[in-house]
Chain A
Amino acid sequence: MQKQLEKIRKAVVEGEDLEAASLVEEALTAGFPPLEILNRGVVAGIDETGKRWKANEYFLPEVILAADAFKAAMGPLEPKLKEGEQGGKGAHKLVIGVVQGDMHDLGISLVIALLQSAGFEIIDLGIDVSLDSFISAVKEHRPVALGLGAYMTTTMLRMKEIIGELERQGLRDNLKVMVGGAPTSQEFADEIGADIWGKDAIMAREKALALIGG
């Protein structure tokens, strides 16, 4: 089993999406436990990608390909995990979206892939999300965290409005707010009252894991 899981891990690290999916299918057919495939194969691959990113061995193109491979590997795996209620599903919900007026989806798609690999159940509101939609989603799903992305200096200002509205409606106390995107900074996150600033997708994953004691 270890050999097969190592192959899956390697396929994710090297961004081989088709191979990763096929190896996962093989492992499932061979009867490997889905949670083992997830943790020791797929997630191990993303962990290794993160390490290489931090060590300046990987850059954005390699991370993109690894995230693709992760998504491909999750294709056959996800239904099996759901069947067994495994993989942390339901334990830690995280609502995420790009603020209204902003259509940039690269950052958020990477963050979602990496947060999924950390075991979060993601409620993805997509791009160009209105303040009301964020508030409704928080009320409906009661997540542990809300992720807000903005990639323009003009749209990032909406993050402050959203945090203000959460406070006004009494939704802020048990909710951590994560912000990220090219024009944001730690200073900006502090200024608008966010709890976490994710400098990049890898860091967002690390900080989100710390949030739940992972």
Chain B
Amino acid sequence: MANANLQIIHGILYGKGLRLGKLSPLGQVMATMVGKHGDYVPFMGPQIHDHAMTVAGVPARKFYWDPELLVSTQMAVQRWYGFDSYTVISDAYNTEVEALGAKMIYSDNAMPTVNTSVPLIKERSDLDRLGSLDVTAARIPVAVELCRLITERIKGPFGIGFFCSPFSLLCNAMGYPRAVRALMRDKAYARELFDYAENEVIFPFLKAQAQAGVKSSVGPDAWSAFPNLTPDLVEEWVVPSAKRLAERGKKELKMSVSAGTAACDYCEEDPAKFDKEMMFRCWDVASGLSFLKIAFSGMGRTQDWDMRWLQEYALSRGKGGKLPIFASLNSRFVRDSNPAQLVDKIREWIGIMGRDGRLLFFIGSVPADTPPANVHMAVRAVHTLGRYPIAKDLSAIRVELPSFQPFDRWLKGQPEEDVIMKAREQ
């Protein structure tokens, strides 16, 4: 069943109990999100751009400027790993500020990055000087085309455009200390900053996306994660801003706009400071911002979490059922662990959160230097241990490191081969 829309419908029906036919990977994801579960716990595609670029051996100076290459490389690498859905995104935090004239650093082997030590916004008058976003400047046309391609190639809830949410955009334009100081010390200035970010920068970008046919766009907002911002600050600033953008997107662009993604993501690093009450509060605030009603662990140090808390949260907020849990393996944990440690963690989590369904795995983000064997192992472990019905004694199930072809050998004959090989030549 090649048609993605049919796979989605098949998955929804399958998850609701009409268990007919062989479910596709995307169908497994939809069955779990909308119904109870598919045939196994799915592993969704993570944020992977730098890692995909490294695995595919394509140069950064080409990768981040070529929408076709960016999409093709990420889709190929995610299929090589056997993820059940795609996530394709670029360096989403940079696009708008780069076009406004931020000082950037470009390299041969990493995504562009903003030099916040030379801030674009130092004082109020800079807002007038910068003016509105020029949607023909820098990589904005690349990003618009990228959003269009993602929407075209990846159907379902993951085929969406992107933008940088207001607070993260302000952090990139002025540095986090200046931005947070404004929120806490100069509210009038902070309101002006949000107004500028929403109306003069983000909205023109969204309008360009809408004109290219993008129907839905999400705004990552990692600078609003906890403890960068507290839930109180997120509720005071990020939530109202996200509502304003959503309303304006719906009314003027007929577009679903979801800002503040990753705001209140619980990213406390010290296990000794993990606080159940604060976690629940963060998840409640984050849930109010998400375009999906889910229980979500994001970029935090999840390997040290007590996942019974996330399960309890999903049950308590599920209105008689259970919210789907998007459980993230921490990116550094996946990179730094050995295969046995990964399998043990996945076994523990499936035992806690998978038995009653509605569990999906992903990786917070995949660092460039992550050993591919670790990612293959994680996917194999989730698909093996997460097969329904979940085994009573998960410790009795052995998970072997899967044999996998080197990426270059696997790539031969794949639809993305030409695009990737040509980029290497250049």
- Which A residues lie at the B interface, using CB under 8 A? 15, 54, 56, 59-61, 64-65, 68, 101-106, 109, 126-128, 152-155, 157, 183-185, 187-188, 191, 199-200, 203
Contact = CB atoms under 8 A, between A and B. Distances in A.
CB-based closest 9 A-B pairs: A154-B110, A153-B367, A187-B336, A59-B227, A103-B115, A185-B332, A153-B368, A61-B180, A105-B117
A128 B105 contact: yes
Contacts of A103: 105, 113-117
B74 interface: no
Contacts of B83: none
Between A64, A184, A187, A200, the greatest number of chain B beta carbons within 10 A of the residue's beta carbon is seen for A64
B278 interface: yes
B421 interface: no
Number of contact residues on B: which range applies? Answer: 35 or more
B181 A64 contact: yes
B184 A61 contact: yes
Contacts of B115: 103, 127-128
Given A103-B117, A105-B117, A199 B269 contact: yes
Nearest to B277: A56
B210 to A, nearest CB: 32
Interface in B96-130: 105, 107, 109-111, 113-117
Contacts of B269: 199-200
B220 interface: no
Contact of A56 (B105, B107, B110, B273): B273
B336 A101 contact: no
A157 B369 CA distance: 8
B226 A59 contact: yes
Contacts of B176: 64, 106
B253 interface: no
A60 B228 contact: yes
B413 interface: no
Nearest to B226: A59
Contact of A199 (B270, B337, B368): B270
A127 B269 CA distance: 24
6 contacts: A60-B229, A61-B230, A103-B114, A104-B116, A105-B117, A106-B116
Given A61-B229, A155-B110, A105 B175 contact: yes
B117 A187 contact: no
A200 B227 CA distance: 12
Given A54-B272, A68-B177, 17 more contacts: A56-B275, A59-B228, A59-B229, A61-B233, A64-B177, A101-B107, A101-B110, A105-B175, A106-B116, A128-B105, A128-B115, A152-B110, A154-B109, A154-B110, A185-B332, A187-B337, A200-B270
A152 B175 CA distance: 16
Given A101-B110, A105-B175, A109-B177, A154 B228 contact: no
A114 B152 CA distance: 50
Nearest to A184: B332
A207 to B, nearest CB: 13
B74 to A, nearest CB: 16
B90 interface: no
